[in-house]
Amino acid sequence: MEETDDRRHAGTVFNIQKYSIHDGPGIRTLVFLKGCALSCRWCSNPESQRPQPELAYNKGRCLGLDKCVRCPAVCVRNALSRSPDGTLDIDRARCQGCHMPCVDACPAEALIAYGKTMTVEDVLAKVEQDGAFYARSGGGMTLSGGEPLYQADFALALLREAKRRHLKTAMETSGLARREALAEAAPLLNDVLFDIKHVDSRVHEAQTGMPNDLILANFRMLAEEFADTRIRVRTPIIPGFNDDEATISAIAAFLEPYPRVEYELLPYHRLGTQKYVFLDRSSPMGETALDKTKLPRLESAARDVLKERFRT
């Protein structure tokens, strides 16, 4: 029974976000799947990169170990101790692979588990709660990540089951996925939001850790072979990487032969920096911010090539 199999299929999800209105048509629910093969320096969801669940610590919410010692008490690996300032010190080398009882013990929600195992049934039960809003707005479920196809079997099971329930589906993708997985996902998707960050593969590799040839090939396949799937390409504008007119013009020129494809620019934001801190990592971008005065020129570079297919 294929149907039952899909519903029981489990994967790692790190967030489900209701009332999302900037990622696909209508009012949507975003399902964030964990794991990504890229390691973009500007990643605003650092908790999405690794496939396994991770422990994070929001020091600002912690009551301090003078007032509460619930978490070290339950840690069997002795990974949690008191730091000199009274907050929690996590020994990252020791802390791994357990079910994180410390998160359940924490009364203040200072300890956070990024990623939990959910079945397709669990996820869709959450997604369907907002069914009344999808019906009126043309919205539905958007898979996001990480890279949703990093957990390809889980993502495909989610999409198949969503289609059986007549939900509208969309997926945000980095494009870095097995060709077969993308080809299988495409007919199950009403909309694809496809990231193209740079057309020069060497520059791409330097900043994301991977070349872009598979990404571009995947894009071509999607655009050429799946006429029923709407495609919107998005470029995150990253300072020092692609925030120049030549780069944007080159991406636009690459897209120009595909008349169905829409294009959008997403200015870099620093909302993710705090999460690096929670994970005891440092943000590779540091304090770098985007010079927003550049945006109009980048927009007109894209518009020159793509005309009304460029969306703001």
Partner 1 sequence: MDTMPCDCLSPQERRLYDAMAGKEDRHRKSHARVFRLLERFEGQKPRIDIERALYFTQSMRETEGQPLVLRWAKALRHIAENITVHVQQDQLLLGRAGCDGRYGILYPELDGDFLDIAVRDLPTRATSPATITPEDAKRVVEEIAPYWKGKTFHEALNAALPPEIHKLTYDDPEGLVSRFIVNETASFRSSIQWVHDYEKVLRRGFDDIRREAQEKLDALDPLSAGDYCRKRPFLEAVIIVSEAIVLWARRHAALAREMAGIEYDPARKSELLRMAENAERVPALPARDFYEACQSQWFVQMFSRLEQKTGTTISNGRMDQYLYPYYRKGKEDGTLTDAKTIELLECMWVGMAEFIDMYISPTGGAFNEGYAHWEAVTVGGQTPDGRDASNDLTYLFLKSKREFPLHYPDLAARIHSRAPERYLWDVAETIKYGSGFPKLINDEEVVPLYVSKGATFEEALDYAVSGCTEARMPNRDTYTSGGAYINFAAAVEMVLRNGRMKKYGDRVLGVETGDPRSFATWEQFWDAYVQQHLLFMKAAFIQQRIIIDLRARHFAQPMGSAIHDLCMKHCIDLHQPDIPEGLDFGYFEYMGLGTVVDSLAAVKKLVYEDRRLTMDELLAAIDANFEGHEDVKALLRTAPCYGNNDPYADAIGRDIDRISVEYGDKYSMKDLGIHNDVRYVPFTSHVPFGKVVSATPNGRTEWFPLSDGSSASHGADVNGPTAVMLSNFNTKNMGYRARAARMLNVKFTPKCLEGDQGTEKLVAFIRTFCDLKLWHVQFNVISRETLLAAQKDPRKYRNLIVRIAGYSAYFVDLSPDLQNDLIARTEHGAL
Would you tell me which residues interact with partner 1 (CB under 8 A)? 17-22, 26-27, 30, 61, 63, 67-68, 70, 107-109, 129-130, 132-133, 135-139, 292
Q: Is the Cβ of residue 30 or residue 38 nearer to partner 1 in the bound state?
A: 30
| Residue among 253, 210, 165 at smallest CA distance from 49 | 210
Angle at 197 between CA 193 and CA 202, to 5 degrees: 145
Q: Is the Cβ of residue 110 or residue 210 nearer to partner 1 in the bound state?
A: 110
Q: Is the Cβ of residue 31 or residue 222 nearer to partner 1 in the bound state?
A: 31
Contact between residue 58 and residue 112 where contact means Cβ atoms under 8 Å apart:
yes
Angle at 255 between CA 252 and CA 261, to 5 degrees: 115
Least distance in Å: CB of 133 to partner 1?
Answer: 5
CA distance 90 to 300: 48
Least distance in Å: CB of 63 to partner 1?
Answer: 5
Contact between residue 192 and residue 171 where contact means Cβ atoms under 8 Å apart:
yes
Least distance in Å: CB of 238 to partner 1?
Answer: 19
List Cβ neighbours of 114 (8 Å cut-off, separation of 6 or more).
14, 34, 47, 53, 54, 55, 56, 279
Positive or negative CA dihedral for 96, 98, 99, 103?
Answer: negative
Q: Is the Cβ of residue 107 or residue 240 nearer to partner 1 in the bound state?
A: 107
Least distance in Å: CB of 105 to partner 1?
Answer: 9
Residue 184 token pair: 């299988």
Q: Is 33 exposed, middle or buried (0-12, 13-18, 19+ CB in 10 A)?
A: buried
Least distance in Å: CB of 28 to partner 1?
Answer: 10
Contact between residue 239 and residue 268 where contact means Cβ atoms under 8 Å apart:
yes
CA distance 305 to 285: 30
Contact between residue 10 and residue 117 where contact means Cβ atoms under 8 Å apart:
yes
Q: Is the Cβ of residue 138 or residue 187 nearer to partner 1 in the bound state?
A: 138
Q: Is the Cβ of residue 19 or residue 94 nearer to partner 1 in the bound state?
A: 19
Q: Is the Cβ of residue 19 or residue 178 nearer to partner 1 in the bound state?
A: 19
Least distance in Å: CB of 184 to partner 1?
Answer: 29
Least distance in Å: CB of 19 to partner 1?
Answer: 4
